[in-house]
Chain A
Amino acid sequence: MNMSKYSIFSLAKQALNFHEGWGKVWRNPEPKKHYDVIIIGGGGHGLATAYYLAKNHGVTNVAVLEKGYIGGGNTGRNTTIVRSNYLWDESAHLYEKSMKLWENLSQDLNFNVMFSQRGVYNLGHSLQDMRDIQRRVNANRLNGIDGEIVDADELKRRIPILNTSRHSRYPVLGASFQPRGGTARHDAVAWGFARGADSLGVDIIQQCEVSGFIRENDRIAGVETNRGNIGAGKVGIVVAGNSSVLADLAGFRLPVTSHPLQALVSEPIKPVLNTVVMSNAVHGYISQSDKGDLVVGAGIDSYNGYGQRGSYTVIENALAAIKELFPVFSRVRMNRQWGGIVDTTPDACPIIGESPVKGVYINCGWGTGGFKATPGSGYVFAHTLAKDQPHELNQAFSLQRFSTGRLIDEHGAAGVAH
């Protein structure tokens, strides 16, 4: 397909045609009989994996199989927050790699992902919260990640609508601030990676659900789908909430449980919040989209669920927290509410690497915070698939860590908010 490069000139040219001449952005091919690599899951992570496989490793005989439509799962359901202020070295390096890719992603993909480095505040509500924040910010800075500690008075100056009263139920004592954090347009991330991968020769096959794995001599040989059997040299499973389902089909177990995670957007209002505010302690996080909607995220529902919806009490709690932090929003009406299925692990860290089945690789367990990692996750997983060994950034995130005991306890930085 002859795909045009987006530029000010192509925009001007199409404007003269009343924007009726824009072509399709990726092909819609029939599956081939065999691929070198099959990626199961056409979300941001899967598409990014395919893109970096083709771009960085020259592996272009690749298919991305998506049971629905691309970006229709968690990629289109998250609250679009991007940050890299994780406590432990392993995760800090992984998320910071992702942050560096974000900073150049629109140029790299020639697709505007609307990455906006408006900063991210993580609030502290108790003295222990503030000590944890100091520790995390110090750890971040030692890892070369930007961060600062902001006290309540300074917070009030920067975010005038934030309630910093000493009399609120959970008073705001301060916050950590990552200036390079922010938000990105979630759909555009899927579309940009899809367009980029497609232009390098990757087949993106939608409405193609994997129902089984084909093995030959203890090695993977392909997958069974609703569009026939497709042969594969290697298979990468990147299916977030459905990871355990695919692992069951492949014949191995995961330490993953799938939970609903809910979010909401309000009616659009005038610009009032120019940054991202998160609070682990009261379970809420909020930003304002470019359209003017307030984007609010809740914590996960406690129970296992695949239903892409959760219980009302959870969003009620999140909105109560938001109202306490921002009394000015008390009369804003919520427009839409939805749930995504997140794959949580015991240590709140992802699993990226080989599986017990030869030729099958898994990238899962991103839990509540996978969106921010989209480019980095694809980058290291592509390396793992191409070289048959992990990149140094995802070495520590193997499935084996659950038997060696070398867990990476990121609950403090990742457990609830993201």
Chain B
Amino acid sequence: MSERLDVRKTYKLLVGGAFPRSESGRSYEVVDANGLFLANVAQASRKDVRDAVVAARSAQRAWWSLTPYNRGQVLYRLAEMAEARAGELSEQVGRAEGTRAGEARASVGRSIDRLVWYAGWCDKVGQVLGGQNPVAGPYFNFSVPVPSGVVGVLADQDSSLEAFVDAVAAPLATGNAVVALASEARPIPAVLLGEMSATSDLVAGALNVLTGRTGEIAPVIASHEDVDGLDLTGADDDFAGELGALAAETVTRVLRGADPQDRGLKRLRAFVETSTVWHTIGQ
């Protein structure tokens, strides 16, 4: 008996809840930390970015219109899905990052725990970042954090899953929709997380995962008029400056130099807008 031949997976984009190959038909070769072939991954085009932003814009309304409790359950569901496929994630994180199996498993564990952490924020962030404002007059005045809208994420280039989870779960927890560009050299764990999100009751299009050439795709995201926020963690200083200048054309909010290991609320605060309502008090 010959050994069973394994069935290999094609790694595709996640756009609007569907898994297209790039509309361009292009792919690029991804290798592991030792330079061995891993997969031909879809290479997103300018058009894929535009499709993803359109999907994100429409999904954002639906995602934000869910109750915070419901959003929390969906992100928790994503953690459940990731836990069930932790073995697969660990293998890919290990191969991408060149870490030993134990360290890769630990990294996946931390990533899942981080998802759980963000899931819990969905129905707490409003109280922690908002509140009643004691103004000097007969007004009831309150502020609430509302999502910026569509957030473009340029994911960290080194940490293939942990940093990716942080970068996408934070804006999702505050009600944004996300168009994420995975690490160029280590995209597969991010693609897997995207696959899991599609079975987590996440509104289709709330998370879009693109893979491709950072130098080609990041400027398209940064200059897109319908992108409200931009996380430039995955760009070096010079490139971040270039992308930041593109983002200025539509006053896009930019998060720069955020430490992927940061455990504060910086990421939760990065893509919310404080909306303040004054209402008269009277008889």
Same complex origin of A and B: no
Q: A: which residues have CB within 8 A of B?
A: none
Q: B: which residues have CB within 8 A of A?
A: none
